[in-house]
């Protein structure tokens, strides 16, 4: 199958979160299954400077409302073919890919991601300038949400799959955006792109895509409810027969404790000695008291309400009084950032906080911590809890979304079955998280149960193979028969 995979970020070129990891790993897994998958991304400076070579493949001029653009053909480091949209006016700028340096959304985001959506639709339609014609166009999150709409209004286009990585980000713009983006005015209605009086890219994708997927089976159910549907529950309920939850995998060569270049020492199931060296290295690098016996909790992620960092900060004093140590890496909400740094100053040697994005340190935390914290209020899938299991660092997770689908709570029964891999708690409150922390510490002190728990997680298969096969089934079901 020929698949065009459209995304606003792809690792290792440009990453703000899990979408970039998935956009690198899923196309690679699909290619290994024999499909011809190619990735389309905007030409941000980070992408263009990372390309070793490229060839100009096509020009897009005179598209109503959009500046002129070029299409470059190149490859990702792992060999996956890559197409990059070069449009300096929209993509060549300092700052973040969605926001400026002050954290404000770029004012022309509708046009920027409208162009990404439009180019994808052209490549998947009858008027494509390329010889290579995709049989399926696979869109991801709101930034690509207009593609299914453009393709719907362009007869003869390939079928479209829309994957929701996070329903909380919806690409909402004022109604007049519709006239600037070459979308037929009649689609501005509840059965179309209208969303509570505004215009939403994600709504367009969810309404017009031939099939919707999301990144875990549990989240696929949750987004049909008032609690987690973010206003889309009605539409998603109505489209239930075209909605599938497929758990993300992990890139298990990049996230492999046996040969991870970011670690102080490699280790694997059956040969765990190196894990202690990573704990020591992490304690040293972070200025924590070097103590092999002191339980060390780690957290990596966006500092946001979604990720529950506020509750972690609330219980941090009791957590370290257990006693234990805590290391935090992430960025996001300004108050959470300064609260995390203040706690680190208040508890020197016990709490360390790094504000920023640091790929190597994130690997070292997965390896060097004893227990990983991921108490997200909601979590479409989550990758860190899978990385941590692979690294022998059992996670503590809230019972939501993909966390439910990827962590087995530790109790007498699941331990006896060899199934337990972490700790799951039900109510996202400080007392419940703290109780779960204490439960984890009790198992940590049990010299028989803890290694068994670590091994169960390390031996689980979180690779992409099974999930990639499920995406193929969906693609195949959308192809014309015969």
418 near 412, Cβ under 8 Å?
A: no
Number of residues that bind ligand GLC (CB under 6 A): 14
**Of the candidates 3, 174, 132, the residue with the CA atom closest to the CA atom of residue 80:** 3
Please pick, from the candidates 8, 9, 10, 18, the single residue that binds ligand ADP as defined by CB under 6 A: 18
Please pick, from the candidates 21, 135, 339, 409, the single residue that binds ligand ADP as defined by CB under 6 A: 21
What is the footprint of ligand ADP within residues 291-350 (CB under 6 A)? 300-302, 329-331
Pairing of strands 198-200, 172-173: antiparallel
Please pick, from the candidates 379, 391, 393, 407, the single residue that binds ligand GLC as defined by CB under 6 A: 379
DSSP 252: T
Residue nearest to ligand GLC (CB): 18
CA distances from 451 to 172, 344, 448 (A): 48, 30, 6
Cα(178)–Cα(84) distance, integer angstroms: 25
411 near 442, Cβ under 8 Å?
A: no
* Proportion of the chain in helix, strand, coil states, percent, rounded to 5: 40, 20, 40
Please pick, from the candidates 38, 165, 211, 398, the single residue that binds ligand GLC as defined by CB under 6 A: 165
- The DSSP string of 150-203 is HHHTSTTPPPEEEEES-TT---EE-TTHHHHTT--GGG-STTTTEETTEEEHHH
CB of 365 to ligand GLC, least distance (A): 17
- Comparing CB distances to ligand GLC, the nearer of 18 and 125 is 18
| Residue 245 binding: pick among ligand GLC, ligand ADP, none (C-beta 5-8 Å cut-off by kind) | none
CB of 344 to ligand GLC, least distance (A): 26
Q: Is residue 358 a contact residue for ligand ADP (CB under 6 A)? A: yes
Buried-state track 126-151, b at ≥16 Cβ within 10 A, e below 16: eebeeeeebbbbbbbbbbbbbbbbbb
CB of 380 to ligand GLC, least distance (A): 4
CB of 215 to ligand ADP, least distance (A): 8
Q: Is residue 215 a contact residue for ligand GLC (CB under 6 A)? A: yes
Site string for ligand ADP, 408-447 (x = CB under 6 A): ----------------------------------------
| Residue 296 binding: pick among ligand ADP, ligand GLC, none (C-beta 5-8 Å cut-off by kind) | none
Q: Is residue 301 a contact residue for ligand GLC (CB under 6 A)? A: no
CB of 229 to ligand ADP, least distance (A): 18
Please pick, from the candidates 384, 389, 393, 406, the single residue that binds ligand ADP as defined by CB under 6 A: 384
Torsion of Cα atoms, 12 then 14 then 16 then 21, to 10°: -40
- Comparing CB distances to ligand ADP, the nearer of 99 and 438 is 99
CB of 302 to ligand ADP, least distance (A): 5
| Residue 215 binding: pick among ligand ADP, ligand GLC, none (C-beta 5-8 Å cut-off by kind) | ligand GLC
Cα(227)–Cα(204) distance, integer angstroms: 21
Cα(436)–Cα(168) distance, integer angstroms: 27
Cα(163)–Cα(246) distance, integer angstroms: 10
- The DSSP string of 361-379 is HHHHHHHH-SEEEE--S--
Cα(150)–Cα(183) distance, integer angstroms: 7
Region near ligand GLC per CB under 6 A, out of 37-45, 204-212, 283-291, 378-386: 378-386
Region near ligand GLC per CB under 6 A, out of 17-25, 184-192, 308-316, 414-422: 17-25
E strand spans, 335-455: 351-355, 371-374, 395-398, 423-425
**Of the candidates 217, 196, 219, 194, the residue with the CA atom closest to the CA atom of residue 207:** 194
- Comparing CB distances to ligand GLC, the nearer of 370 and 405 is 405
Please pick, from the candidates 4, 6, 11, 18, the single residue that binds ligand GLC as defined by CB under 6 A: 18
What is the footprint of ligand ADP within residues 191-250 (CB under 6 A)? none
Q: What is the largest CA-CA distance in the chain?
A: 68
| Residue 395 binding: pick among ligand GLC, ligand ADP, none (C-beta 5-8 Å cut-off by kind) | none
**Of the candidates 445, 365, 381, the residue with the CA atom closest to the CA atom of residue 373:** 365
Cα(351)–Cα(348) distance, integer angstroms: 6
Q: Is residue 19 a contact residue for ligand GLC (CB under 6 A)? A: yes
Residue 379 has a CB neighbour count (10 Å cut-off) of 31
| Residue 393 binding: pick among ligand ADP, ligand GLC, none (C-beta 5-8 Å cut-off by kind) | none
| Residue 158 binding: pick among ligand GLC, ligand ADP, none (C-beta 5-8 Å cut-off by kind) | none
Site string for ligand GLC, 401-420 (x = CB under 6 A): -x------------------
**Site residues for ligand ADP per CB under 6 A:** 17-18, 21, 300-302, 329-331, 357-359, 362, 381-384
**Site residues for ligand GLC per CB under 6 A:** 17-19, 22, 165-166, 215, 248, 379-383, 402
């Amino acid at each position: 199958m020929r698949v065009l995979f459209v995304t606003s970020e792809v690792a290792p070129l440009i990453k703000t979160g899990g979408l970039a990891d998935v956009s690198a790993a899923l196309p690679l897994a699909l290619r290994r299954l024999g499909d011809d998958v190619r990735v389309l991304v905007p030409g941000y400076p980070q992408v263009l400077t990372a390309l070793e070579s490229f060839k100009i493949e096509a020009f897009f001029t005179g598209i109503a409302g959009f500046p002129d653009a070029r299409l470059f053909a190149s490859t990702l480091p792992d060999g996956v073919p890559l197409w990059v949209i070069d449009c300096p006016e929209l993509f060549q700028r300092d700052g973040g890919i969605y926001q400026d340096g002050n954290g404000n959304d770029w004012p022309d985001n509708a046009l920027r991601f409208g162009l990404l959506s439009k180019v994808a639709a052209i490549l998947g339609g009858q008027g494509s300038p390329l010889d290579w014609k995709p049989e399926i166009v696979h869109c991801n999150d709101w930034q690509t949400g207009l593609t299914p709409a453009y393709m719907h209004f362009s007869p003869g286009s390939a079928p479209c799959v829309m994957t929701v990585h996070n329903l909380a980000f919806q690409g909402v713009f004022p109604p007049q955006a519709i006239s600037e983006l070459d979308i037929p005015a009649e689609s501005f209605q509840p059965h179309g792109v209208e969303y509570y009086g505004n215009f939403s890219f994600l709504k367009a994708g969810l309404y017009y895509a031939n099939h919707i997927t999301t990144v875990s089976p549990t989240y696929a159910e949750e987004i049909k409810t008032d609690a987690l549907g973010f206003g889309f529950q009605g539409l998603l309920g109505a489209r239930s027969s075209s909605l599938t939850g497929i758990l993300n995998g992990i890139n298990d060569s990049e996230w492999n404790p046996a040969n991870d270049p970011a670690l102080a020492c490699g280790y694997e199931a059956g040969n765990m000695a190196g894990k202690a060296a990573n704990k020591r290295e992490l304690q040293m690098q972070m200025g924590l008291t070097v103590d092999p016996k002191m339980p060390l909790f780690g957290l990596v992620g966006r500092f946001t309400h979604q990720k529950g960092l506020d509750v972690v900060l609330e219980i941090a004093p009791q957590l370290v009084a257990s006693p234990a140590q805590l290391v935090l890496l992430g960025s996001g909400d300004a108050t959470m950032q300064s609260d995390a740094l203040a706690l680190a100053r208040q508890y020197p040697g016990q709490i360390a906080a790094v504000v920023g994005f640091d790929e190597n340190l994130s690997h070292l935390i997965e390896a060097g911590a004893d227990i990983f914290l991921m108490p997200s209020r909601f979590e479409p899938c989550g990758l860190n809890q899978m990385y941590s299991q692979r690294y022998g660092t059992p996670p503590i997770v809230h019972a939501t979304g993909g966390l439910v689908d990827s962590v087995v709570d530790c109790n007498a029964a699941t331990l006896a079955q060899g199934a337990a891999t972490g700790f799951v708690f039900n109510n996202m409150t400080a007392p419940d998280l703290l109780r779960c922390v204490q439960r984890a510490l009790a198992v940590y002190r049990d010299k028989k149960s803890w290694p068994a728990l670590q091994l169960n997680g390390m031996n689980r298969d979180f690779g992409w193979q099974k999930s990639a096969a499920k995406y193929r089934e969906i693609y195949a079901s959308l192809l014309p028969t015969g």
